[in-house]
Structure formats: C-alpha cells, structure tokens
C-alpha cells in the first residue's frame, strides 16, 4: 500500500512532458507483456495488458490539443487510432504480428519525445496541465 502512495505522489509531481514520457514507456511495457502472454497462451494476462495499453493510448488521445498542434496533432491522433485498432486485432486474433508495429510506433514516439525534452523547457507556462489522465491506473 505504501508503494502505491509513493507512486501516486511521484506521478502527481511530474510535469506534462515527464508524464507523457512515462505513458509512452508504460504502453511499450504493456505491449511487451501482452506479447509474452500470447506466446505462453495466457489469455487472461494478454487481455489485461492489451486493455491497459489501449487505456493509456485513449488517455493520450484525449489530451491532444488540435488548436495548437495542427497537422502534427492530426498525425498523432491517426497513429494512436491505428495503434488502438492493431491492439484490438491482436486481442481478437491472439496474434503477436499486430503488436509489433504498435511497439515500434511507441518506441519511435518515445525516442522523439525524449529528444524534444532535451532541447526544451519541461513545462512552458502556456502549456495546460495534462487532463484526462486522472483516474488512469498506469501500473497493474
């Protein structure tokens, strides 16, 4: 129970950029765990990890700012939608081949996001807080 309190306070103390980086990392981890679950024919775990990845991607989609992001926002939304469809197909077909492209997308996004964070301030004053992630259980 103490670990959950520490984790919650750590997440609450993150700025937007750190939180998005964490969400990308957790999406990748959940996809990897889903792959392992499919290989071991563990349907219950597969469903859990794919659903967790979809939940995170849904939260990421909900915070896209189309007004400020323009074409980049549209492309990001398309990647998230594609990823959700592929995860759903992997779940329905019990097929790892649908997970690989999603994992690759999120590895690229994580890499690009990390590079961007190196060259910018962590939370510019005009950046609104990330909303839509309240109540999102990242781990588990």
**Domain assignment of residue 131, yes or no:** no
**Domain assignment of residue 135, yes or no:** no
Give the count of domains, the chain: 1
Q: Where are the alpha helices (DSSP H) in 40-98?
A: 43-62, 66-93
**Domain assignment of residue 46, yes or no:** yes
In terms of residue numbers, what domain contains 51? 16-116
**Domain assignment of residue 137, yes or no:** no
**Domain assignment of residue 81, yes or no:** yes
**Domain assignment of residue 100, yes or no:** yes
**Domain assignment of residue 7, yes or no:** no
107: pLDDT strictly greater than 60: yes
Q: What is the CATH number of the domain that holds 100?
A: 1.20.120.340
Q: Tell me if 11 sits within 8 A of 19, measured CB to CB.
A: yes
What is the pTM for the complete model shown? 0.80
12: pLDDT strictly greater than 60: yes
Give the pLDDT of residue 132. 45
Give the pLDDT of residue 9. 55
Give the pLDDT of residue 119. 77
On average, the pLDDT of the chain sits at 84
Q: Give pLDDT tens digits for 65-91.
A: 888 888 999 999 999 999 999 999 999
**Domain assignment of residue 122, yes or no:** no
- Lowest model confidence (mean pLDDT) among 27-36, 82-91, 95-104, 111-120: 111-120
Q: Give pLDDT tens digits for 16-26.
A: 888 999 999 99
103: pLDDT strictly greater than 60: yes
Residue with the larger pLDDT of the pair 103 and 135: 103
58-63 contacts, C-beta under 8 A, 24 or more apart? 58/84, 59/23, 59/132, 59/133, 59/136, 60/20, 60/23, 60/27, 62/131, 62/132, 63/130, 63/131, 63/132, 63/133
């Amino acid at each position: 129970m103490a670990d959950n309190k520490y984790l919650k306070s750590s997440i609450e103390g993150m700025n937007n950029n750190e939180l998005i980086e964490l969400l990308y990392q957790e999406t990748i981890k959940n996809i990897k765990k889903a792959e392992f679950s499919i290989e071991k024919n563990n349907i219950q775990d597969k469903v859990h990890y794919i659903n967790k990845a979809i939940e995170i991607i849904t939260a990421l989609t909900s915070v896209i700012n189309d007004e400020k992001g323009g074409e980049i926002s549209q492309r990001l939304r398309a990647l998230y939608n594609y990823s959700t469809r592929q995860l759903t197909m992997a779940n329905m077909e019990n097929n790892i081949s649908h997970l690989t492209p999603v994992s690759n997308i999120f590895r690229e996004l994580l890499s690009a996001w990390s590079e961007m964070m190196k060259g910018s301030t962590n939370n510019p004053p005009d950046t609104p807080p990330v909303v839509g992630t309240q109540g999102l259980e990242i781990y588990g």
